[in-house]
Amino acid sequence: MSIKRFIANADNTIVNTYDENLSTRATGSNTGQADVVEVYSIWERQSVSSSAATGSQELSRVLMSFPISQISASRASGSLPASGSVSFYLRVFEAEHSRTIPRNFKFVVQAVSQSWEEGDGLDITQYKDLTRNQVGSNWIRASKDAAWSSIGGTYHATPTYTQHFSGGIGDVEIDVSEMVEQWIAGTKENYGLGIRLSSSFEAFYSHSSGENAENMIHNPNGAKKSYYTKRFFARGTQYFFKRPCLEARWNSTTRDDRGNFYFSSSLAPAEDNLNTIYLYNYVRGRLRNIPSIGTGDIFVSLYSGSSDNTAPSGSKLRLYTGETAITGGYVSTGIYSCSVGLTKSADVTLDTLFDVWHDNSNTEFFTGSITTQQYKGNVHTREPVYFLNITNLKNSYMSNQNARFNLYVREKNWSPTIFTKANETAEHMVIPSASYRVIRTVDNLETIPHNTGSDFATGLSYDVSGSYFDFDMSLLQPGYEYAFKIAFYDDELLSWQEQNQQFNFRVEKYEH
């Protein structure tokens, strides 16, 4: 579960646009209940009547706020990582319309520095819904009880985020982690954020006083052309996947090499000669820290096996560090890991090793077994074709469910013979780098795309049992069928290769 979405809990469009009569401005209008929000700038549709000013502007800006208390609660419960281990992205989705769209422009996103009200207005075309000094924000007033300190909204100078649009079409997707962490920490009050054109793209208007006047923003370096119009879906949209949100992403992958353990070799670079193995300390079915270790260091020693490979035997093996014990560390509640390298030698002849986890006084906590492998060269390039199966996939899941999916992988042309030893568990391959995405089958809409960048939020983990990933069903709209698609990274092609199979399931909502 490396993705969580927190849907906007308020939004509004505020404007200083002329009414239809082109003589009065709709500065008192409110569109807090509209299903779209809008950003634009119009230059000199109507000339300025004042001799003290030049230029004319009509601007539209967007306000949005998000449930930071929910984010804080998720972090407190452990379902969201600590600051620095998670990224927050502002995601606002474009709404198609029949009007013109601007090209080659830049948006600015800043935190709002003043409390504001969403309001009850709906009219985003003629701006007929006025607050009349009642509940709701507009160009002049932040709420029923307070005006904006500066018309058009007041904003913190930092942090400031930008996104450039060259062709005009596209969604807003900006990493706003610093802003969100300030809200969570309380160093800035959560009054939401504003989205607008940057000052160089908002229309030119200059007043001799050097200040805002006539409900227009003093902007002597502004644009002498119009940028009209960019619309986005608001929180009230009927489209589940188009609601504006803060999307939390983080890398929760675990790469446990217990089932993919290689002896050190001159064929491999240093990083590939290290194997990371894990200890999962379950007590009555729940992960618990080892009391005497807590979050401190733990030590691991490796042994060759007995003659029948059922238990550790002999002396501790000498590891790549030259020592007989490697220092491991705390990962999370009840989980410890260490990275170890070992060279096959006359002292290490068996294919099964035993890892013994202990403290510095040699009190043993756990003994595991490891089946080893060796790196080998080849006389031809690999062209693997895989067979995949999610072995525990169900027909349907509830929308409030978090589920773990186990992926079985083997080469498609693998052909066991009568000489192949029968095993209770079929052989599987470990894919070091794999990712999933989710589509809605009825229209092939990509609801969760691959996220294989620095966050690697859609990455698969693996351990001795194979690959797996966790998924939060609340990310999907109930009442539809969806499918997982799996991709593997190919080091030779330097690209992700999506596999042919897809795995279908439905999401339902509990109605009682």
pLDDT confidence tier of residue 50, bands split at 50, 70 and 90: confident
Name the helix (H) or strand (E) containing 245: strand 245-249
CATH label of the domain that carries residue 497: 2.60.40.1930
Please report, in angstroms and rounded to a whole number, the separation of the first and last CA atoms in the chain: 26
pTM: 0.93
273, 239: one domain: no
What's the pLDDT tens digit per position in 230-277?
A: 999 999 999 999 999 999 999 999 999 999 999 999 999 999 999 999
In a domain, 51, yes or no: yes
Q: Are residues 129 and 9 in the same domain?
A: yes
Residue type at 475? L
Q: Are residues 237 and 324 in the same domain?
A: no
- Does the N-terminal peptide bond of residue 229 adopt cis geometry, omega within 30 degrees of 0? yes
User: For 487-508, how does the pLDDT look when each residue is reduced to its tens digit (9 = 90+)?
Assistant: 999 988 889 999 999 999 999 9
In a domain, 336, yes or no: yes
- Beta carbons of 74 and 81 less than 8 angstroms apart: no
**What is the tally of helices (H) and strands (E) in the chain?**
2, 32
- Predicted local confidence at residue 147, as pLDDT: 98
Task: Residue 370: name the closest of 386, 357, 388, 358 by CA.
Answer: 357
Closest-CA residue to 487 (of 425, 431, 412)? 431
Whether residue 40 contacts residue 227, with contact meaning beta carbons closer than 8 Å, is answered with yes
User: Do 137 and 279 have their domain in common?
Assistant: no
| Band of pLDDT at residue 347, cut at 50, 70 and 90 | low
Does residue 415 share a domain with residue 331? no
| Residue in the structure block whose two tokens are 């490891």 | 370
pLDDT average, residue stretch 202-212: 95
Q: Mark whether 312 and 284 lie in a shared domain.
A: yes
Pairwise CA distance, residues 220 & 162, whole Å: 21
Q: Tell me how crowded residue 403 is: count the other CB atoms within 10 A of its CB.
A: 16
Whole-Å CA distances, 475 to 80, 174, 221: 15, 19, 43
Based on the fold, state whether residues 405 and 358 are members of the same structural domain: no
Residue 173 and residue 75 in one domain: yes
- Domain closes at, from 195, 230, 249: 249
Domain boundary, last residue among 352, 373, 394:
373
Mean pLDDT, range 153-157, rounded to an integer: 98
| Structural domain contains residue 368 | yes
* pLDDT (0 to 100) of residue 512: 61
CB 63 within 8 A of CB 9: no
Average pLDDT of every residue of the chain: 93
State residue 425's pLDDT score.
58
- Provide the CATH number for the domain around residue 284: 2.60.40
Residue count (the chain)? 512
* Residues in a beta bridge with 60: 15, 40
- Assigned domain for 315 exists: yes
pLDDT digits (tens, 9 = 90+) for 446-464: 999 999 999 999 999 999 9
Chain-centroid distance of CA 244 in Å reads 14
pLDDT at 22: 85
Cβ-Cβ contacts under 8 Å for 41 (sequence gap 6 or more):
57, 58, 59, 60, 197, 201, 202, 203, 222, 223, 226, 227, 228
Number of domains in the chain: 3
Q: What percent of the chain is predicted at pLDDT more than 70?
A: 95
Report yes or no on 379 lying in a domain.
no
| Letter string b/e over residues 447-469, b meaning 16 or more CB atoms within 10 A of that residue's CB | bbebbbeebbbbbbbbbbebbbb
In a domain, 378, yes or no: no
The answer on 180 and 43 residing in a single domain is yes
Question: Is the same domain home to 271 and 174?
Answer: no
In this predicted model, what pLDDT tens digit does every residue of 380-389 receive, in sequence order?
777 789 999 9
Question: Do 90 and 217 belong together in one domain?
Answer: yes
Distances in Å between the Cα of 262 and the Cα atoms of 265, 276, 304 are 8, 11, 15
Domain that holds residue 303: 257-373
For residue 205, tell me if it sits in a domain. yes
Q: List pLDDT tens digits, range 56-71.
A: 999 999 999 999 999 9
Is the domain of 103 the same as that of 224? yes
Residue 380 lies in a domain: no
Distance of CA 299 to the CA centre of its chain: 34
Question: Which DSSP category does 249 fall into?
Answer: E
Q: What's the average model confidence in pLDDT over 95-113?
A: 97
3-class DSSP assignment, residue 440: strand
Ramachandran assignment for 50, one of left (phi > 0), alpha (psi -120 to 50 degrees), beta (any other): beta
- Give, for 359, the enclosing helix (H) or strand (E): none
From 249, 277, 303, the end of a domain falls on 249
391 CB-near residues (< 8 Å, 6+ apart): 406, 407, 408
Distance CA 42, CA 21 (A): 16
